[in-house]
Each structure stands twice: as structure tokens, then as C-alpha cells.
């Protein structure tokens, strides 16, 4: 009996020490210390001994069991410490490491330009207004002195809505220019007017200097005795504020149906420095050193009359420019294709 107990002590302590994980340890525990395990069987054997041998052997058996119990507890503690040690290497966290910054965005360059344009005109008393981007033919053309079927309308490569024609206002269009905002503002009848209408405009066009959706800003000033001099002063102010002193502007006589006299406003091209040449070739963007930004002129009396304003009492000027083109002519903004603006390519957008 004593030998058997001695043998069990050696075997059980070795088995516990050899257990590689909790599962193996549990299997060994059941085998040696379980209710139907080997220790229990020997204990039963001790209980069956003659009374004179029982106390001695019982004491010894208890000593053996204590050693085996200790071996189990030690191994369990060792395995647990091992597991905790592993967590320290696989799941550690250093709270002092600097955090990862979320990427910081910025407004789109066109949005930025719109804010700049708005600011410049607000400083000289113009108020920003907004009007629908889906407009009636009457506001976009007819009231602007372009009667139905007038060939001047061809300039605006208009998108027509698939919607029923209105008996009074005509077809529905996507605003081909912001000039319809002049009509809307004049028809309100609140004079004098100093407005800057900045909005999306749509034309069927796409090349290095055109996109089908672009933005225009339209100025309108109506008051008593407004002259071309005022127009020139406002345009010069804008050019100076927006482009800086180094850029040149010029007014070219032109023809628009809704202004008389009419002008086109040009600014020297920043891409080629106003020379019209780039690396031995004609400048891709301007071709001649000047880039047309838009038109201007004195509001035609027919426009005032159509909007219920008496041209004998009131006069004024208007101008309309493309926001994207104006922005592209800014110092240092060397964008050689206007279509980049709307491709949503981060490699492009994050440069600004
Ligand atoms: N609406 C014109 C265009 O889209 C630009 C323009 C020219 C606006 C002359 C004006 C103006 O207000 O007076 O091409």
C-alpha cells in the first residue's frame, strides 16, 4: 500500500508538472484526484485495512494527497501566470503613445473662391442673393431681350427640363447663366439694387476650359445716374482685391442683348504670364495671353421695362463671370484643365 501511494505521488506530480495547458491539467486532475480517480481508490483501500494498520497508513495517505494537491495548485498558478504574461505581449496598450489624428479636410477650392468673391463685393455694399437653378425660359432669355427663336440664344447651350411648358413663362431650363437673377431681383421692385448672385449654371459643353456645371457670379447695380465709370470702378476694385496688383485687366467692346453698351472683361493669364506661349507652344488655356472672364455692360432699357422698372428714372450696370475661370486665373493656381475641379480626385484637391 505504501509503495502504491509513493508511486502515485511520483506519477501524479510529474503529470501535473507536464501539463501544457488548463485542459491537460484538468484531465490529469480528474485522473488522479477525481471522485473515481486513483487517489480515491487508494483511500478506499486504506479504509479497508485492519484497524491496527489504518491510522499509520491513513496519515501517510493524507501526506501524499497534500503533496499532490500542492503540485496541482502550483501548476495551475504557473499556467495562469504564463497566460497573463502572453496577454502583456499580445494585448498591451501604451496610453502615452500620441493618438492618430483624423484626417483634416478643407472646403473645396470653388467654395473657397465663392466665399472670397462674396466677401469682396459685400465690402462695397453688394448683398448676396440666390435664385432657383431650375428656371423659366422667360427669366433666362425673354426678359433679357432675347425673344423666342432669337439667334443670340444659341450662345447658351441650354439644357431643357423634360417638363410641361408654361403658357406665360415658357419652357423650363437649367439656369444657363446667372443673369436670370437680375430679372428676379428687378421684378421684386425694391430699388435701388446692389446684388451679387452666385449660383450653379449649366451648359452642354466639356473641354479644358469648360464643364457642363459651373458657377457664375452676377453683379447688378441699379440706381439714379449710374454710369460706365461706376462699372469700371467696381470691376477694378474686384480685380485688385481678388488677383492682386500684378495682374492686368482689359475691357473689350462686345455685344450682349441685355446690355448697351456691352463689354467683355479679360484678365492676363497666370499660366503663361500673359504671353500666350508655354514651352514653345501656344498656352493650353488662353492661347493669346488673355483669358475672358465674362461680360458686363449697362442694363438695356428693354430689360428694365420687361421687369417693370422705368428706364427713364433708373439705370445701372451688370456683369457676369465664371467663378471657376476667375479662380484659375488667380496667382499661383496653375490648373491646366478646368475639369480637374470636379473629378473629386484627392491627389488634386489636397494640393490646395
Ligand atoms: N450672362 C452672360 C453669360 O453667361 C454674362 C454677362 C454678360 C452677364 C454681360 C452680364 C452682362 O450681367 O452684363 O455669358
Are the CB atoms for 158 and 171 separated by under 8 Å? no
In order, the DSSP letters of 125-189 are T-EEE---SEEEHHHHTGGGT--TT-GGGGGS-PPBPSSPPBTTTB-EEE-SSTTHHHHHHHHTT
Q: Please tell me the distance from the alpha carbon of residue 321 to that of residue 162, in angstroms, as a whole number.
A: 28
Q: How many A from CA of 126 to the centre of ligand 1?
A: 17
Q: How many A from CA of 261 to the centre of ligand 1?
A: 12
For residue 256, what pLDDT is reported? Answer: 96
Choosing among 1.10.275.10, 3.30.930.10, 3.40.190.290, 3.40.47.10, the CATH entry for 109-349 is 3.30.930.10
**Residue among 57, 4, 83, 18 nearest 29 (CA):** 18
For residue 133, what pLDDT is reported? Answer: 96
**Ligand 1 site, residue 199, Cβ cutoff 6 A:** no
Ligand 1 atom nearest to 299, measured from its CA: 13
For residue 267, what pLDDT is reported? Answer: 83
Q: How many A from CA of 256 to the centre of ligand 1?
A: 7
For residue 84, what pLDDT is reported? Answer: 85
Q: How many A from CA of 272 to the centre of ligand 1?
A: 26
Ligand 1 pocket test: pick from 141, 176, 294, 299 the residue with the most ligand atoms within 8 Å of its Cβ: 294
Q: Is the pLDDT of residue 266 over 90?
A: no
Residue at grid coordinates 445716374: 225
For residue 347, what pLDDT is reported? Answer: 92
Q: How many A from CA of 101 to the centre of ligand 1?
A: 46
Q: Please tell me the distance from the alpha carbon of residue 135 to that of residue 131, in angstroms, as a whole number.
A: 9
279-305 pLDDT, tens digit each: 899 988 788 988 788 899 999 999 999
Q: Is the pLDDT of residue 213 over 80?
A: yes
Strands 277-278 and 281-282, bridge-based pairing = antiparallel
Confidence bin at 91 (pLDDT 50/70/90): confident
**Ligand 1 site, residue 294, Cβ cutoff 6 A:** yes
Instruction: Note if the pTM is more than 0.75.
Output: no
Domain residue extents for the chain: 2-90, 109-349
Amino acid at each position: 500500500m505504501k509503495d502504491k501511494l509513493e508511486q502515485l505521488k511520483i506519477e501524479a506530480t510529474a503529470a501535473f508538472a507536464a501539463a501544457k495547458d488548463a485542459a491537460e491539467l484538468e484531465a490529469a486532475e480528474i485522473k488522479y484526484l477525481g471522485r473515481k480517480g486513483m487517489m480515491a481508490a487508494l483511500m478506499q483501500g486504506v479504509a479497508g485495512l485492519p484497524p491496527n494498520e489504518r491510522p499509520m497508513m491513513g496519515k501517510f495517505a493524507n501526506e501524499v494527497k497534500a503533496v499532490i494537491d500542492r503540485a496541482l495548485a502550483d501548476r495551475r498558478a504557473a499556467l495562469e501566470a504564463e497566460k497573463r504574461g502572453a496577454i502583456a505581449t499580445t494585448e498591451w496598450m501604451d496610453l502615452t503613445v500620441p493618438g492618430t489624428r483624423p484626417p483634416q479636410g478643407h472646403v473645396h477650392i470653388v467654395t473657397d473662391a465663392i466665399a472670397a468673391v462674396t466677401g469682396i463685393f459685400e465690402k462695397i455694399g453688394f448683398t448676396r442673393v440666390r435664385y432657383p437653378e431650375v428656371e423659366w425660359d422667360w427669366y433666362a432669355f425673354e426678359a433679357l431681350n432675347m425673344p423666342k427663336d432669337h439667334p443670340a440664344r444659341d450662345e447658351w447651350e441650354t439644357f431643357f427640363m423634360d417638363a410641361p411648358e408654361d403658357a406665360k413663362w415658357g419652357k423650363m431650363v437649367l439656369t444657363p447663366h446667372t443673369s436670370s437673377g437680375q430679372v428676379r431681383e428687378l421684378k421684386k421692385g425694391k430699388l435701388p439694387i446692389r446684388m451679387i448672385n452666385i449660383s450653379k449654371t449649366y451648359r452642354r459643353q466639356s473641354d479644358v476650359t469648360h464643364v457642363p456645371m459651373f458657377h457664375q457670379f452676377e453683379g447688378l447695380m441699379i440706381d439714379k445716374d449710374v454710369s460706365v465709370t461706376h462699372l469700371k470702378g467696381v470691376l477694378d476694385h474686384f480685380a485688385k482685391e481678388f488677383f492682386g496688383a500684378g495682374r492686368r485687366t482689359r475691357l473689350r467692346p462686345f455685344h450682349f442683348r441685355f446690355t448697351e453698351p456691352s463689354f467683355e472683361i479679360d484678365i492676363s493669364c497666370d499660366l503663361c504670364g500673359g504671353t500666350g506661349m508655354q514651352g514653345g507652344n501656344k498656352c493650353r488655356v488662353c492661347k493669346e495671353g488673355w483669358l475672358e472672364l465674362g461680360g458686363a455692360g449697362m442694363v438695356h432699357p428693354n430689360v428694365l421695362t420687361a421687369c417693370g422698372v422705368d428706364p427713364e428714372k433708373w439705370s445701372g450696370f451688370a456683369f457676369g463671370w465664371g467663378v471657376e475661370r476667375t479662380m484659375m486665373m488667380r496667382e499661383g493656381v496653375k490648373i491646366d484643365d478646368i475639369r480637374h475641379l470636379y473629378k473629386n480626385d484627392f491627389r488634386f484637391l489636397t494640393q490646395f
